[in-house]
Structure 1
Amino acid sequence: MLDHKLLEAEGILVLTPQAPLTSDDFQGIAAEVDPYIESKGNLQGILIEAESFPGWHDFGSFVSHVQFVRNHHRHVKKIAAVSDSEFLTIAPKIASHFVQAEVRHFAFGDREAAMTWLKE
């Protein structure tokens, strides 16, 4: 389960994984984000906040995640991963090779610093 909230005024999507990610999670996010991108052009940023990364429900969920990234990465300026999870600590380094957005890691608890960076 992936909780999400679009802060429309700031153009920031906040993602908070609560349980293994599913294909439905990415469909729900796309249903909310796609109209925003269509009307505004881009998201200023995405904030991923998770003390630990719960992984994916199954391989189909992983594929849905990859497809979501492929379809949306050109419309996101920055991505902030706020986590102490080993996976989310190294994920920005890996992701920077596949997405156009600037990606940065912040320690869990540094949400405010991450939001400030996303708004810059």
Structure 2
Amino acid sequence: MLTVNLNAVAGIAILQPDGELSIADFKAASKIIDPYIESAGKLKGIIIHVQSFPGWDSFAALISHFKFIKEHHKQVSHIALVTDSAIGSFAENIASHFVSADIKRFAFNKLDAAEKWIITGEYQ
């Protein structure tokens, strides 16, 4: 399951996976994020907040994840990976070659720092 909390005032969506990701998770996230992007033009940031990366429940879910990234990366200014998972460093390095957003990794307990970075651009 993927919980999506949209702070419309700050323009930040916080995505919190709990268990393997599914196709339905990405469809649900789009239903929350897309209307905001349509009205505001852009999302300031997406925060992926997860202790350790749960993976996908199927190959189709992985493809759905890539499709979600392809459809949204140009409308997002910042992506914060707030995780203690080793995949966070890997994702930060690889994703920076494929998405237009600025990407930074933060420790799992640094959610506030990630939000501050998206809002102010200050990175500690």
Q: 2:37: which partner in 1? A: 37
> Where does 1:42-53 land on structure 2 (aligned, <5 Å)?
42-53=42-53
Q: 2:26: which partner in 1? A: 26
Q: 1:56: which partner in 2? A: 56
Secondary structure of the equivalent of 1:98?
A: coil
Compute the displacement of 1:84 (Å).
0.6
> Where does 1:1-120 land on structure 2 (aligned, <5 Å)?
1-120=1-120
Compute the displacement of 1:89 (Å).
2.4
User: CA deviation digits over 1:77-99, x for unaligned, max 9?
Assistant: 00000111011222111100000
| TM-score (norm. length: structure 1) | 0.98
Q: Where does structure 1 lack aligned partners over 5 or more consecutive residues?
A: none
User: CA deviation digits over 1:17-55, x for unaligned, max 9?
Assistant: 100000000000111111111110000000111110000
Q: Percent identity?
A: 43
How many pairs were matched up?
Answer: 120
Task: Please tell me the residue identity of whatever aligns with 1:77.
Answer: S
Q: Where does structure 2 lack aligned partners over 5 or more consecutive residues?
A: none
| 4+ residue segments displaced more than 2 Å | none
Output the aligned Cα RMSD: 0.6
